[in-house]
Structure 1
C-alpha cells in the first residue's frame, strides 16, 4: 500500500516505491523529481530560488537549486540509489508576477528553471520530462512505482509527463 508524502516549500523528501511524493501550488518555484528505478528510490525537492551564492541566509539548503539538488542526490545515494541510474523530471517555474520580465522578481521562475537545468547537467543527471514556464501554478504528484509525474493545474487539467 502506498502513502502520499508531502514536500513543503523549500523542503525535500525521499521515499521508497510505491510511495507518492506531492507538492502543492508551485508558482515560480520548481519541483525537482529524481528517481532510481533500479533501487526503487524517489526524491522530490521544492526549489524556491536559483543559487545560494546570491542569498544572505543560506541556512536552508533545500531552498536553492544548486545546494538542494546536491543534498537530494547525496541523501538518495546514502539510502542506496546509484547516480548512474538517477533520472529527473521537473515542473513549475512559472512567471507569476506581472511587470518587466527583465526584473529579478518577474523572472524568478525562468531563473529557477535555468538553475535547476544547469545543476542537473553539471551532475550528469538527465532530465527526461518537464512542464515548466507559462503563467500558472501547478500541483505535482510523483509516483515512485512507475516514475510518472502528474501535473495538475487549474484551468489546464491534469497531464502525465
Structure 2
C-alpha cells in the first residue's frame, strides 16, 4: 500500500516506491530530493537557511534546518541504504517572500541564497541536478512520486507544473 511521506520544515525523510514524498510551505525554503532510480529510494530535505556557521557552538542546533548540514546528513543516510547508488537531484523553492531593501551582502533575498547554497552542496557531493524550479515570489508545494521521480510542483495562485 502506498502512502504520502510528509516532510516538515527544517526536516528530511527517506522513502521508497511505491510511496510519494512531499513537503509544503516552500517559500524562501528549499526542497531537495535526492533519488536513486534503480532502487527507487529517495530523500527529501526542507531547509530554511543556507548556512549553519552563524549558529556554531549552540548545543540545540537542528542540523536539518541548514543547507550545509541537512543535505550531507540526508545523503549519508541514503548512502547507507544504497551504497552504490547513482543519485541525482531536483530542487524546488527559494522564492523571494520578503521585500527587504538592504545593501548589506549578508541580507536580502534569503530564497536566492538558499538556492545557491543547496546547489553548492550538491556540487560538492557530486550529485547532478537534473531539474529545478526556484526563485519568483510565490510559495510552493513539492510532491515526488518515488516510482518514477516525477516531481509535481504546486505554485500558489498559479498552475501545477511537473519537473
| Length-normalised TM-score, structure 1 | 0.93
> How many angstroms does 1:105 deviate by?
5.0
Superposed displacement of residue 81, structure 1: 4.9
Post-superposition offset of 1:16 = 1.1
Asked if 2 retains the 8 angstrom alpha-carbon contact of 1:151 and 1:159, the reply is yes
The aligned residue for residue 156 of structure 2 is 154
Question: Out of 131, 138, 147, which is 1:145 matched to?
Answer: 147
Distance 1:43 1:101, change over 3 A: farther
Provide the residue aligned with 1:31 in structure 2. 31
Corresponding residue number in structure 1 for 2:114: 112
Structure 1 segment 121-132 matched on structure 2, within 5 A: 121-132=123-134
Alpha-carbon spacing, 1:101–1:145, altered in 2? closer, same or farther (3 Å)? farther
Unaligned residue ranges in structure 2 (runs of 5+): none
Distance 1:2 1:101 in 2: 47
Between the aligned partners of 1:66 and 1:46, the Cα distance in structure 2 is 12
Secondary structure at the counterpart of residue 98 of structure 2? coil
**Residue equivalent to 2:88:** 87
Change (3 A) 1:8 1:15: same
Contact kept? 1:36, 1:82, Cα under 8 Å: no
Select the residue among 49, 62, 65 that pairs with 1:60: 62
Gap runs ≥5 in structure 1: none
Instruction: Report how far residue 82 of structure 1 moved.
Output: 3.0
**Which SS does the other structure have where 2:123 is aligned?**
helix
The change in CA–CA distance for 1:9 and 1:35 in structure 2 (over 3 A counts) is: same
Which residue of structure 1 lines up, in the alignment, with residue 11 of structure 2? 11
Quote how far apart the aligned CAs of 1:87 are. 0.3
Residue deviations 1:89-147, cap 9 Å, x none?
Answer: 00000000012164555311010000000000011000000000000000010111010
Post-superposition offset of 1:66: 1.0
- 2:97 equivalent in structure 1: 96
